[in-house]
Amino acid sequence: MNELLEEVSGLIDRAKQGGTITVSECEGLINKVPGFTEKHTIEDTRDFLKFLGSPDRNMKIIHVAGTNGKGSVCSYISSVLLGAGYSVGVFTSPHLVSINERFALDGKPVSDGIFVEVFLALLKHIMEYKSGEYFPTYFEFLFFMAMILYDEHPVDYLILETGLGGRLDATNSVEKPILSVITEIGLDHMQYLGDTIEDIAKEKAGIIKRGVPVVFFDKRKESSDVIKKRALELDIRAVEVSRRDIENVGLKVDEAGNKYIAFSYNSLYDRYANLRLSTKARYQAENASIAIAALEVLRSFGAELSHEDIMEGLYSAKWDCRMEELRPGVYVDGAHNLDGIEAFLDSVGGIPCEGRKLLLFGIVSDKQYGDIIHRVLESRLFDAIFVSALRTDRSVSVSDLKGCFEDSREELGIIGLPIRYYSNVRDAATDVITMRKSGDCVFTAGSLYLAGQIKGLF
């Protein structure tokens, strides 16, 4: 900690003397901050937020939690609000290529200049608070940067995505958002959140606050019951989005040859027919429907949003690495848990391909990677698989990946499927593209780390 504080003091002094501080230097220091700690409680986070002047009290915050789809829902809500003429801030995680991506102002990552300005402002506050004895953890640090950013650059609406869980997440230190949103809940981060759907749902439902309505996705009875019970205890409105309300989901092609997802959604107030999303991911129909329900709640609070605003905003929304077509026939998806992989495979099955379907796969060790690998092979969707270790300490090793793939292949009786193994993503990607023939489709999945690394190569 002393070395970290010395580095902080050095950066502050350099800035005072007119020295140039780069985003790379800022990120280097942030990466030295511990990711988790037993020392800080949510009360610690709230105390420091109060020290910053409780900037959240002057913000219209939409708070989003869930296992899968959080970032997509944030993107859809933001796109609609921006299209309707509102200014919007979005704080999300993780980033794919640049750390600036975590902080969006009106649909664009913050500039390097603003990033450094906010970073230095936070460092000064840390040194002033309790004589520098308190230092935020990695995600807390980024959250506090967001609070300073959107205080100094006010927006009409601020969308906050939780980092992990909900109840103890740094973003849950905000006093009173105007709306809570909970997306699909599944089994992920079980070492921190619990090993049952009910346990994880309780953590996610921890963002629900008295006097604040909640919109949630009703996928599993176990999680829905937890959310409904919590809403009843707090006597708040709970808006349920169900698969029953989502119809006619399919991949379409317009006159210009552009592929898109078409669907219809029956909300509590309206029927939205012939909705279009500029994506090839079928699962985004669910996330867009959650966004619609959230937007309707905002409209009941006075937001001026027309039917056309919603339809046009959904279609214009872009969210990287969610079945994103980086170049014709090359798709990258951030699916990284069992539910995400199921949704990914569903989308792969619906994408026409004249030739072979090739998969580039990598995953981190704190996921259910054995089950995920088994499910990928069980789908029998791919004609060849390229498996790579990732550029992170959390990556599953090449030897462990090979063991899982070979064990599952033997168990499933799969013969003749080419599977190649690589120590780095660049070599794997190079081979995939080199071996790709005319008409072949390439798909990437398993981790957002992999998605980001692939996107950085293209």
Checking if the pLDDT of 175 tops 70, the result is: yes
Percent above pLDDT 90 for the chain: 80
Over residues 143-155, the pLDDT tens digits come to 999 999 999 999 9
Over residues 22-71, the pLDDT tens digits come to 999 999 999 988 765 556 889 999 999 999 999 999 999 999 999 989 99
Q: Give me the residues paired with residue 260 across strands.
A: 252
d(C-alpha 453, C-alpha 445), whole Å: 11
The beta-carbon contacts of 271-279 under 8 Å, at least 24 apart in sequence, are 272/307, 272/310, 272/311, 275/311, 275/314, 275/315, 276/252, 276/311, 276/314, 276/315, 277/314, 277/315, 277/317, 278/315, 278/316, 278/317, 278/318, 279/319, 279/322, 279/323, 279/324
pLDDT, average across residues 90-109:
95
pLDDT of residue 428: 96
pLDDT of residue 258: 87
Domains of the chain: 2-316 (3.40.1190.10), 324-457 (3.90.190.20)
Over residues 220-263, the pLDDT tens digits come to 899 999 999 999 999 999 999 999 999 999 999 988 888 899 99
Q: Which helix or strand (DSSP H or E) is residue 260 part of?
A: strand 259-266
Checking if the pLDDT of 14 tops 80, the result is: yes
